[in-house]
Amino acid sequence: MSSGKGCLDEMQRQAQQISPALLLVVVEIGRLWETGGKGYSDALRQASENLASLVETRSQANAVAAGAWGTTRTILIALGFTLGMVLVNPISKPAFQQILMQIALLAMMFWGGLGYWQIKDAINSVTE
């Protein structure tokens, strides 16, 4: 392990590979080490408070995303159960044996799959 300025450069490279937030902390510590003074210690404190706020916001977004996934799964299970009940019902079963209804049902399932992937992508983009 190197020491001094070389050590900080190595730490910055490693931190960059892990996380942008960690890189910010290493850069701030490097500035504090290079110049010292109250201004940089205050900047380091403020950066750490901002990072803590960012982490809290991300954890809240992940909690909301988990709730959205739960709601999505509940809706899909309810729709699947309802469709299954309609298909086994002796009154409605003959209607679904017609080719036109089967094509319509297939199109609706395809549309539902597209909607599911859209919701998945939206939740993933928010939580990244």
Report the pLDDT value the prediction gives residue 70, as an integer from 0 to 100.
83
pTM of the model: 0.50
CA distance 48 to 70: 33
- pLDDT band at residue 57 using 50, 70 and 90 as cut-offs: confident
Report the pLDDT value the prediction gives residue 89, as an integer from 0 to 100.
85
Tokens found for residue 127: 């939580």
Which tens digit of pLDDT belongs to each residue from 19-50? 887 887 788 777 777 766 677 677 777 877 88
- pLDDT band at residue 65 using 50, 70 and 90 as cut-offs: confident
Q: Is the pLDDT of residue 108 over 80?
A: yes
Report the pLDDT value the prediction gives residue 5, as an integer from 0 to 100.
64
Tokens found for residue 7: 């050590």
